[in-house]
Structure 1
Amino acid sequence: MRIIPRTMCTQHPDYATVPQWVTNDFIKGDDEVYEAYMNYSIYDCQETMWDFEGKDVDIYVVRKLLENYGGFFINKVLGEDIFLTYRLPNPNVEASDRKVYAEALETIPMAYDLARVFYGKPVKAIFEVIYPLTSSSRDLIITLRYYERVVAGKCRVELDEGVKVADVIGEVEPKTIEVIPLIEDMDSLLRVDSIIEGYVKAVKPQYIRVFIARSDPAMNYGLIPAVLLAKIALSRAYTAGNALGVGVYPIIGVGPTPFRGNFNPRNVNNVLREYPGVYTFTVQSAFRYDYPVDNAKEAINTVNNSKPTEPLILSKHEEELALTVIRQYVDRYQAEVEGLANVINYVAQLLPPRRTRRLHIGLFGYGRGFRGITLPRAIAFVGALYSIGIPPELLGLATLLKLNEKQWGVLEGNYVNLWRDLSDAAQYICLECIQQLPIMKNELRVDEETISMVLEDVKAIDELGVKVPSPGFEQRKHALLTKLFLESASNGYINDAREYLLEMAKVRRGVG
């Protein structure tokens, strides 16, 4: 059996502090190649996600890694000891990137040829791809068949009498790849078992890696629904794998703030306890760059050296109770987000860009959102709300006051770090700032009805008994910067406003 990585470094643009080796204010081009090398050599990450989704990407990454850092890679075999995994664009969603989807798959044989020459033996340098916004097994099957029949299969195409494509470009290896579903919306998370079943029956793999999103579900449905959906999906994934006789190795997409997973160097052990059965945790950019290198490396090694614990399998009754909590929560949460959408979008555009991403507006922009609203990506969504004194973890929280005893039992039994996450987030509430929003100018103004709901959520922090530490220096500084930001933005001092946003992100150790 191959090594299943415990840590996957990603290219999420969530870091506030620019690393010293970056040549600009954001990471792009050859910086990303060097970053991949750093992921392995400095941070000891076992896998790097090479992201083709929504951004420009270097298709010659394997050539550059082996040529520029051969002394490292000769001892760490790419594709055997450490891994480079593509995230493709979804051709059904990002129409302008359909050819990028094809281009990414076409580079896999090139990586194989380069690795074979470098190592002096056949090596599948890249053999896995992540398919985002997976909604059915057909997404995975079509991607696999495209690779097998179009990319590898073209070798058999006859160009002229007695001359086939293989005679011109050589044989194409590998002949097949593995496809990882990245599951991001509620309906698909609840159908993860059927997605696995359809793929396994068609392809008959020995195992399957399943990528469970945390950020987009949180943005779409709220913090607590996102955690409960992840738990249900993990339970159903393992149940399906056991029934089909295949290994299931989940990945969880956790970020640095409680809303996106609370996975940072100070909290790794809690997150390991939160997600039993998960094999791979995403180590996003803020984890690596907004903390001292030694702290980040030590935390990554903690995860690498840990062993996955037994998954938690929910009964049908527990699942139904969890779903009642989710449905109640979503209604209130989405109503509040609708009321805050304008200010979120305005603040998000002022946040510091950290990757050369093209416009991508997440599930809300794909016709899967609610009430017709459009929002930025999850990182900017979170950063915008923190920056106006409303931690997004807060939204919808008053719903919990209406739960019955059984619902509380399933919530606390399945969200291990509930009270810690709420406590961590609540330290960044700026009550004075929230109360000012209805009288702010232009894009910063929020209607009274929405603010009334947010204030009910603030009150719920006390009524639920969440233990919030007395504000320390960092929290007081963040509150002051929030006030200064609102004052600057309201009066048109946009450059000052941008500076305050950056300083707040540094205090939080992450944009969002």
Structure 2
Amino acid sequence: MSRKATYPKVICTQHPDSASKYIATQEEPEEAIEAALVFGCDEYMPDYEGKATPYHQNVQIISKLIEETDLVPGKDIFITPRAPSAVQENRFRQLMVMMSIAEANHGALEYSDIQAINEFVHPMTGTVKEILDAQQHMVDVSELAKKEFGISMEVPRIIPLIEDTPALLHAKELAENTLLAWKERFGTAPEKFRVFLGKSDSALSFGHVASTLSCKYAINGISELDSELDTKTGIIFGAGTLPFRGHLSLKNAENFFREYRGVGTITLQSALRYSHGKGDAEALVRLAKEKLPETPEVFSSEEKEEIVNLIGIFGARYSRIIHELSFTINQLAGLLPQQRDRLMHMGSSGYSRSAPDISGLINLCRSDIGKELNSSMPAEDLHLPRAIKFTGALYSIGLPPEFIGTGTALEEARTKLGEDACERLLTRYFPSLASDLNFASGYLDLNVASRFLSGACLKEVSRDIEVLQDIFSLKVQPEPSYRILLEMMQPDLLQAGNAGDCMDEEVSQLVCSTLTKMGKIRKSLG
């Protein structure tokens, strides 16, 4: 049986969700200093996944910390890069990032006997093989660095990032099987092992409710491993400030920490640092350091079965509508500003994300629910934008994605699973849904959104909102300034979203500026 490990509480990330600040890669080493000294974070994540981050950024950050602060990297502040996936992105870039980890550690060990980088994040993780192969690459790079440059270090451990709903539902099995296979492959299981759970991408694919439930299911499962294995586990939870991406804000902190009990580390993304009120991020960091980790919630086997069926119902309802909106979402997302230096979306040096394999989820669902979910999935990948721009695009047409499919799914859940199951959903499985919807209702304008929707889609969404207003007594009152911006931009947004025509550059800049102002009002690009 493992003892609880001590892990960093707040990891500062390079997510491009700030509506008020663009940060170039050249500024990011200084941002790492700011993360520690200003915001009080105890971990920073240089991000190479889908980003044009320079190979030497790890070295720059470590050197800057050593030369300009009294902080000791690896002790006072942890540097934990996110490397590219060799499967989903590019193996050469993954190996280059790993070599930069070795170089950064070599530089740090010249100043102290403490290794600066001890872990790295592996994105879009789906299999044990991916995890072990990436860890093997890190072992190989470490041996090469020792042979060629005399760099001796303890091999950094992988942190698998699990980002889609089917994988989240199998997170416990993935972690457990990884640790067992690790022992076989490397001779001994790691003493410590963290798993990173992502809210945003699971929400993009399956909707807000299904995403939240799958994350909580994963937290519950991984927490169970602490009493079953000798390895000391930890959970990082990746969340943005808007409800669809996690609703991690100072104002919603009480709900957040109650909802995701069992998490040991949270992300502090750009929007919270640069688009929220002065002092909010620092206050949230202090609160996280006081509270994390809290005792995880425990679900019975019957409750887990019910949660999976709820995920199937909500995921299916959401998926059908998103198919209809995909073209508009992509067009509008292209008009939102780039707040970090990212790689192109496709190509040999870029990246793309495919629709998740839902077979594992379907097998867990009741047969009728699984069949319905399967029929709701697109025949081909939709190639939707990343979650931040996806969320921003929908908020920008007056249709926050938190509402999509949610009302009709509640009706269906009541019919298929019973009134008691719906009651448990709202009081036990997802008690902060009401506050999430209340927040999102401040940006809901169905009159504006209707201009982007087909007749059938509008009928579904209207029913969603009608049901939710009845259950939660929502007051749909968009902020006046936000509504003015929505109304003002309709002709140009319609041109971009529905006609697919090329825009005049000045008009495009005006649209981008207005969309950015909307993001500033909601305090997040997406």
In the superposition, the TM-score normalised over structure 2's length comes to: 0.86
Cα deviation, residue 173, structure 1: 2.4
> Cα 1:81–1:340, aligned 2, differ >3 Å: closer, same or farther?
same
Separation in 1, partners of 2:354, 2:411 = 33
Quote the residue 2:29 is aligned against.
Answer: 33
Distance between the aligned counterparts of 1:28 and 1:293, measured in 2? 22
* Contact kept? 2:5, 2:234, Cα under 8 Å: no
**Match among 139, 151, 169 for residue 149 of structure 2:** 169
Q: 2:489 aligns with which of 469, 485, 491?
A: 485
State whether residues 321 and 410 of structure 1, in contact with CA within 8 Å, keep that contact through their aligned partners in structure 2: no
- Matched with 1:462 is 469
Q: How much has 1:354 moved relative to structure 2?
A: 0.3
CA distance in 1, matches of 2:196, 2:224: 16
Cα drift, residue 466 of structure 1: 3.6
Residue aligning to 2:138: 147
Q: 2:266 aligns to what?
A: 281
Contact map agreement 1:322 1:410 (CA 8 A) in 2: no
Supply the distance in 1 between the matched residues of 2:83 and 2:64 (Cα, whole angstroms).
25
Aligned counterparts of 1:68 and 1:232: Cα–Cα separation in 2: 40
Q: Is the 8 A contact 1:484 1:500 kept in 2?
A: no
For the residues of structure 2 that align with 1:271 and 1:326, how far apart are their CA atoms?
20
- Partners of 1:107 and 1:68 lie apart in 2 by 15
Which position in structure 2 is the counterpart of 1:8? 11
Matched residue SS, 2:211: helix
**1:469 Cα offset (Å):** 7.0
CA 1:352–1:418 in structure 2 vs 1: closer, same or farther (change >3 Å)? same
1-side partners of 2:320 and 2:338: how far apart? 28
Shift of residue 300 of structure 1?
Answer: 1.5
In the other structure, the counterpart of 2:162 is 183
Find the aligned partners of 1:60 and 1:133 in 2 and give their Cα distance.
23
Task: Indicate yes or no: 2:392 matched with 1:383.
Answer: yes
Q: TM-score, normalised by structure 1?
A: 0.89
> Helix, strand or coil for the counterpart of 1:51?
coil
How far apart are the structure 1 equivalents of 2:42 and 2:175?
25
Is contact 1:137–1:194 with CA below 8 Å preserved after alignment?
A: no
On the 8 A contact 2:88/2:351 being kept in 1, the answer is: no
Q: Output one character per residue of 1:70-125: Cα deviation in whole Å (capped at 9) or x when no partner.
A: 4653x32111121110111111111xx2111001111222112211222xx32211
Give the C-alpha shift of residue 12 in structure 1.
0.6
Give the letter for the 1:330 counterpart.
G
Letter aligned with residue 81 of structure 1: D
2: CA distance, partners of 1:208 / 1:68? 28
1:263 aligns with 248
Question: How far did residue 153 of structure 1 move?
Answer: 2.3
105, 112, 133: which is aligned to 2:105? 112
8 Å contact from structure 1 (residues 10, 283) kept in 2: yes
User: Which whole-Å CA distance do the structure 2 matches of 1:141 and 1:489 have between them?
Assistant: 46
Deviations for 1:237-259, whole angstroms, at most 9, x for unmatched residues?
12233212332211111101000
Deviation (angstroms), 1:229: 0.2
Q: Is contact 1:48–1:85 with CA below 8 Å preserved after alignment?
A: yes
Query: Post-superposition shift, 1:200?
Result: 1.5
1:85 corresponds to: 80
- Residues 355-387 of structure 1 show CA distances to partners (whole Å, capped at 9, x for unaligned) of 111134899842537412220000000000000
1:38-80: CA deviation from partner (whole Å, max 9, x where unpaired): 111111111111111011113333443354454653x321111
Q: Report the Cα offset of residue 2 of structure 1.
A: 7.0
**Within 2, Cα distance between the matches of 1:311 and 1:458?**
32
Counterpart Cα distance in 2 of 1:220 and 1:405: 27
2:113 aligned partner, one-letter code:
P
Name the SS for the 1:314 alignment partner.
Answer: coil
Distance 1:364 1:462, change over 3 A: farther
| 1:366 corresponds to | 354
Structure 2 counterpart of 1:509, one-letter code = K
Q: Which amino acid aligns with 2:385?
A: P
Query: What corresponds to 2:411 in structure 1?
Result: 401
For residues 7-40 of structure 1, the C-alpha deviation after alignment (integer angstroms, 9 at most, x for no partner) is 111111100112xxxxxxx322220111111111
CA change 1:490–1:193 in 2 (3 A) is closer
Asked whether the 8 Å contact 1:488–1:496 carries over to 2, the reply is: no
Q: Which runs of 5+ in 2 are unaligned?
A: 184-188, 358-376, 496-502
User: Does the CA-based 8 Å contact 1:422-1:466 persist in structure 2?
Assistant: no
CA distance in 2, matches of 1:52, 1:176: 19
Kept in 1, the 8 Å contact 2:164–2:202? The answer is yes
1:247-283 per-position Cα deviation (integer Å, ceiling 9, x unaligned)? 2211111101000011123222321111111001111
Letter in 2 for 1:459: E
Q: Does 1:192 align with 2:166?
A: no
Offset of residue 432 of structure 1: 1.5
Task: Count how many residue pairs are aligned between Structure 1 and Structure 2.
Answer: 477
Q: Is the 8 A contact 1:486 1:497 kept in 2?
A: no
Do the aligned partners of residues 282 and 68 (structure 1) sit closer, same or farther apart at CA in structure 2, a change above 3 Å counting?
closer
Q: Does 1:348 pair with 2:333?
A: yes
Name which of 115, 118, 123 aligns with 1:132. Answer: 123
Structure 1: give runs of 5+ residues left out of the alignment.
Answer: 19-25, 156-164, 438-445
Q: Does residue 1:60 correspond to 2:49, yes or no? A: no
* RMSD over equivalenced CA pairs, Å: 2.1
Alpha-carbon separation, structure 2, partners of 1:455 and 1:480: 22
**Hey, what's the Cα distance between the residues in 2 that align with 1:416 and 1:489?**
35
Distance 1:364 1:64, change over 3 A: closer
SS at 1:251's partner residue? strand
